[in-house]
Amino acid sequence: MKMPALLLSALLLAGCATGSAPPGTQVPGERLAATIVPGRTTKAELLAAFGTTKSVVFDSGFEVWVYQSPAGGGRFAEYVILIDPQGVVSRTRQRPPAAP
């Protein structure tokens, strides 16, 4: 699967997340944005800094992790992370919370 198609698939799957996150996955968005550097941050560093979260693993070895950030009113913004087969963050995307 080519990179754009993989990223699109991952983002679509992440967009299906609803409700509140499992324990350990709610992290302030500012902390995520300040800590995660594509091309440098590793999977091990993500686990150490933020703990486990929702994830999807593809046959290609790529993974998508989704952390949620409280946005008030019981809503959550999503921070989607694409991890390459070597365990390094490849791309990130922030998704604002749905309108109430």
- The arithmetic mean of pLDDT across residues 19-33, rounded, is 70
The pLDDT value recorded for residue 92 is: 95
The pLDDT value recorded for residue 7 is: 52
- Going 19 to 32 to 4 to 60, the CA torsion angle's sign is negative
Q: Which residues contact 95 (CB under 8 A, 6 or more apart)?
A: 11, 14, 15, 77, 78, 79, 80
pLDDT tens-digit series, residues 33-60: 899 999 999 999 999 998 889 899 999 9
In a domain, 53, yes or no: yes
pLDDT tens-digit series, residues 57-93: 999 999 999 999 888 888 888 999 999 999 999 999 9
CB 62 within 8 A of CB 84: yes
In a domain, 21, yes or no: no
CB 25 within 8 A of CB 17: no
- CATH code, domain carrying 74: 3.30.1450
The pLDDT value recorded for residue 6 is: 53
Burial environment of residue 32 by CB neighbours within 10 A (0 to 12, 13 to 18, 19 or more): buried
Domain count, the chain: 1
Q: Is the pTM of this model over 0.85?
A: no
State the residue range of the domain holding 56: 3-15+27-95
Q: What does R_g of the chain's alpha carbons equal in angstroms?
A: 13
